[in-house]
Chain A
Amino acid sequence: MAQHQINSLANAGLPVALTTVDKLVNWGRTNSLWVLTYGLACCAIEMMASGASRYDFDRFGVIFRASPRQADVMIVAGTLTKKHAEFIRRLYDQMAEPKWVISMGSCANTGGMFNTYATVQGVDRVIPVDIYLPGCAPRPETLQYAVMLLQKKLRKRSIFQKQKPKRLV
């Protein structure tokens, strides 16, 4: 007998797997999180390293997109300047619902060491953030862990649940 032959006696004699719609949809959603590349500074180098072959973000279904229309997650990697703040908000608004934001690195979280007039003191002043990722700059493993946490967050959510308006700050 060939090894790959289906055992019809399992699963109550039927080649059927039962699940809920939530689980099925969330399974698809969590395993194809397409992210909008938002490299603003040196954190972008780590983000690129996570996407490259050594850390291989494709394993998680994370594929970098250059268009907000095709993206589910925005990874803000780097220092956000006040001049750029309106553009990050515009790109966030252009992303299709449901959408999530990972704030990567100290600068995106709180402004970091750039305690100056020209730096936005945390991207959460402009867009709502789901996951804050500490580090300066976070290693690729840390970014992957952040995506895994985001996946965990998504699995808990029912797909019929309306996305609540997110708290900005």
Chain B
Amino acid sequence: MRPYRPKDNVQKKSYYTDRFWVAPRIPEEPVEDEIFKADLRTLKKEIKVKKAYIQRGQLVIIIDAKDNVKALQVLKEKCGYDILSEMSAIDYLAQDGEFEIFYQLLAMSKRKRVRVKCRIKEDEAIESVEPLFRSADWSEREMYDMFGIKVNNHPYLKRILMPEDWVGYPLRKTYPLHGDEAAQWYEVDKIFGKEYREIIGPEQRDAAYISTTDTCNFARIYHEVPRCADPNSEPEKIESFNEDAPLVETFDLKKSKIVDKTR
């Protein structure tokens, strides 16, 4: 659970206008927990650990990408971390030219969580941990689907969410939110063929879009023309009501009658 912070003055803090505001980082603490210390000792006997620290009560171990299967095997078989609750990648290509791959492990017997991190270059592949954890099967497929990271010795490496003929990897930072050209025309190309692009037209993604030249779908106030007419044509004359005629009659005191008493 994250610590609660009072949100009364949230509006007063100008996070979005302060150019010098730096996002707070979660502090890295030294490993002092006895259980984590023992686990780290066991792991260090088998593989090279680059760095290890505690973040929010969870042990974070940074290793070399070659040792990922070995590290997870040691943690599973010798330290009791028998659940791979999550694994995926983070795109640091622009920053470092690398992907960071993380494995989040849980030991139900110890009530402890460990995160194993490693980094690979864009053209490198990672070894599959599917033989150790069955849950890695779909997670690695999703990683391949979303980041384009190849996984060696995976039983069925195929896109899991996007269609198989999709171009590009959507969760990379360089991928546009509205999709690249192949994505924007995907359904048109697939169903009708590329020659239908002109007939169907590009996607309209602006929710407040109003065209002044399109009289089939939009009406211009005070410039009413018949449907699908030439937008430059003269607007139709609209008969307005007589503005002098009173909508409400004035109250005539003489015609009224004052009731003596009410029931």
List residues of A whose CB falls within 8 A of some B CB: 82-83, 85-86, 89, 110-111, 115-118, 120-122, 125-126, 168-169
Q: With the chains together, A110 CA to B184 CA distance in Å?
A: 14
Are the C-beta atoms of B176 and A117 separated by less than 8 Å? yes
Supposing A116-B178, A117-B176 touch, asked if A110 and B207 sit within 8 A by C-beta, the answer is: yes
Task: Bin the interface of chain B by size.
Answer: 20 to 34
Interface residues of B in 151-197 (CB under 8 A from A): 162-163, 170, 175-180, 183-184, 186-188, 190-191
Q: Out of B180, B184, B186, B199, which one reaches A168, CB within 8 Å?
A: B199
Supposing A82-B183, A110-B207 touch, asked if A117 and B178 sit within 8 A by C-beta, the answer is: yes
Query: Secondary structure at chain B's binding surface: helix, strand, loop or mixed?
Result: loop
Supposing A86-B191, A111-B205 touch, asked if A125 and B200 sit within 8 A by C-beta, the answer is: yes
Contacts of B191 in A (CB 8 A): 85-86, 89, 126
Are the C-beta atoms of A86 and B205 separated by less than 8 Å? no
Contacts of A117 in B (CB 8 A): 170, 175-180, 183-184
Query: What's the minimum C-beta distance from A131 to chain B, rounded to whole angstroms?
Result: 15
Are the C-beta atoms of B163 and A121 separated by less than 8 Å? no
Contacts of A126 in B (CB 8 A): 187, 191
Supposing A125-B200, A126-B187 touch, asked if A116 and B207 sit within 8 A by C-beta, the answer is: no
Contacts of B180 in A (CB 8 A): 117
Residue of A nearest to B164 (CB): A83
Q: With the chains together, A85 CA to B178 CA distance in Å?
A: 17
Query: What's the minimum C-beta distance from A126 to chain B, rounded to whole angstroms?
Result: 6
Supposing A116-B178, A117-B175, A117-B178 touch, asked if A86 and B200 sit within 8 A by C-beta, the answer is: no
Contacts of B205 in A (CB 8 A): 111, 115, 121
Query: What's the minimum C-beta distance from B113 to chain A, rounded to whole angstroms?
Result: 31
